[in-house]
Amino acid sequence: MKWLRRLLLLIVVLIVLLLGWFFFGGGHQPTSPAMSKVTAATLHDPALIARGQYLVTVGDCAGCHTAQGGAAFAGGRALATPFGNIAVPNITPDGGTGLGHWSFEDFWQALHNGKGRHGELLYPAFSYTSYTKVTHDDALAMYAYLQSLPPVHRPPTASTLEFPYSVRNSLTAWRALYFKEGVFQPDPKQSARWNRGAYLVQGLGHCNECHAARDSLGGTPQDVHLTGGQIPQQNWYALDLSTRQNGGLQGWSEQDVVDLLKTGQSAKGTAFGPMADVVASSTQHMSDDDLRAVAIYLDSLPARAPSPEEPSAFNANALVVQGEKVYTQRCADCHGKDGNGVAGIYPPLNGNSSVTEPSGINATRAVLLGGFAPLTTTNPRPYSMPPFAQQLSDADVAAVVSYIRHTWNNSTPAVMERDVSKYRQTPMD
């Protein structure tokens, strides 16, 4: 019996050690700015700071790191995830609440390896799964820019993650599944422009963080790239960025991609929902060369097969007849009887990938919320669409969305009244 007792003791010791590591592991000595290999003179170089500002804009860091009505980059938002809310930190150089005490080495470790200043594992709501591809030089420029900002004192809000997600070391398993560290490696078989586009899309642009479906652990399997999917909590469908039919960029030219990212509108559609924010705060400021590179890269993605059409579980014909009636009354004046819209003003619905995407969420919510096209330098006084939430019943919204998804060249399944009712309740932040 002695061996059994020893074995039990060993197991207990192992469990204690494991728990200790689980809760307290991951220690790391931070590097103080004074000990950093990067000199203050380097960081004060105006050219480096200007390049950093451009890169921080391309990465849309302000998009998450700014609270509604708050100072830019000062954090304060609570980012909703299926696992609870995650507090978004202040990244201005404030000593107490921001990155004031962070050296470049600390910054690089966070951006490249998803680890905080003391080695703690960062939650992947901070998209280091993409940022790991950013080069050392670009990261240095971004760091120089962020350190040049006026410091803003703003303590973060509290995270409300559920157990076991509240224990940072639980991310060890997550990282093994979904995170591969490594700077972008150019493909020598492709052009320099293609490689620049791939670098921007896969790295700083972190397009895949929305434009790919997440699984039940909130991760994107490593072979899944820009395949489109529903954004958790936000209830919008981020399109497949390959040239796939129904919910992809089928029929989009390079110019269409450039136009949408630059002006918010293209001949194929208008950005709305979260993508409108991305255009307004980030992509409209990208250089024409970079936008062209992104378009070249996206255009090269092999088209995926459209998802097989699921037979509707109910009689959609009556719905479509009612939908046509609503469309004629409410929509046709702007989007046209032919669904082709008005060039430069109202987007086409015929062949619009946001209309034909698999879920029907985008068209449903666009009808409910309406809103302005993105406000950009090229379109400072955009036209807008009325919100129909107060004017149309769930049944009428389902009917008109089913109609536009199933007429002209569009052939996608109907949406149901209960879905409309669900999306009506979705919080908008």
Partner 1 sequence: MNTNASLCPAKPFGAVVLLVAAMLFGAPLRAADAPPIPDTLQQRIAACTTCHGVHGEGTPGSGYFPRLAGKPAAYLARQMQDFRNGLRKYAPMEYTVRQLSPAYMQEIAEYFAAQQVPYSRSPLPPVSAATLQRGEQLVSKGDPANKIPACASCHGSQLTGVQPSTPGLVGLPYDYISAQLGSWRTRTRGTVAPDCMAVVANRLSDSDITAVAAALASRQLPADTHAQMAGSVTPPLPCGVLGATGDGT
Query: Where do contacts with partner 1 occur on this chain (CB under 8 A)?
Result: 68-69, 276-277, 280, 333-334, 336-338, 340, 342-346, 369-372, 374-375, 380-391, 427-428
For the chain, how far is it from start to end, CA to CA, in angstroms?
A: 62
Torsional sign, CA 386, 391, 395, 400 = negative
Residue 260 to residue 156: CA distance in whole angstroms: 34
Minimum gap (Å) between residue 34 Cβ and partner 1: 38
Q: In terms of CB distance, is 30 or 274 closer to partner 1?
A: 274
Cβ of residue 277: shortest distance to partner 1, in angstroms? 7
Which residues, including other chains, have CB under 8 Å from residue 232's CB and lie 6 or more apart?
81, 82, 214, 218
Rounded Cα–Cα distance for residues 357 and 404 (Å): 12
- State the minimum distance, in angstroms, from the CB of residue 130 to partner 1: 25
How far is it, in rounded angstroms, from Cα 116 to Cα 87?
Answer: 14
Whichever of 86 and 275 has its CB closer to partner 1, that residue is 275
Question: How many Cα atoms sit within 13 Å of 237 on the Cβ side?
Answer: 22
Q: What is the closest distance, in whole angstroms, from the C-beta atom of residue 387 to partner 1 in the complex?
A: 6
Q: Residue 384 CB, nearest distance to partner 1 (Å)?
A: 4
Q: Which residue's CB is nearer to partner 1, number 194 or number 372?
A: 372
Helix (H, G, I), strand (E, B) or coil at 30: coil
Minimum CB distance to partner 1, residue 272 (Å): 10
One-character DSSP codes across 75-130? B--EEEETTEEEEPPP-S--TTTSSTT--HHHHHHHHHH-B-TTSPBPPTTS-HHH
**Which residue number, 193 or 422, has a Cβ lying nearer to partner 1?**
422
Distance between CA atoms of 243 and 228, rounded to whole angstroms? Answer: 11
Taking the C-alpha atoms of residue 334 and residue 331, their distance in angstroms, rounded to an integer, is: 6
Smaller CB separation from partner 1, 252 or 388: 388
Q: State the residue for tokens 């009325």.
A: 386
Measured from the CB atom, the residue of 261 and 316 that comes closer to partner 1 is: 261
Minimum Å gap between C-beta 348 and partner 1 is 12
Check: CB of residue 239 under 8 Å from CB of residue 249. Answer: yes
**Minimum distance, C-beta of residue 330 to partner 1, in the bound complex (Å):** 10
Q: In this structure, are residues 232 and 221 in contact, taking their beta carbons and an 8 Å threshold? A: no
Cis peptide bond N-terminal to 164, omega within 30 = yes
* Choice between 373 and 401, CB closer to partner 1: 373
Name which of 201 and 276 has its Cβ closer to partner 1: 276
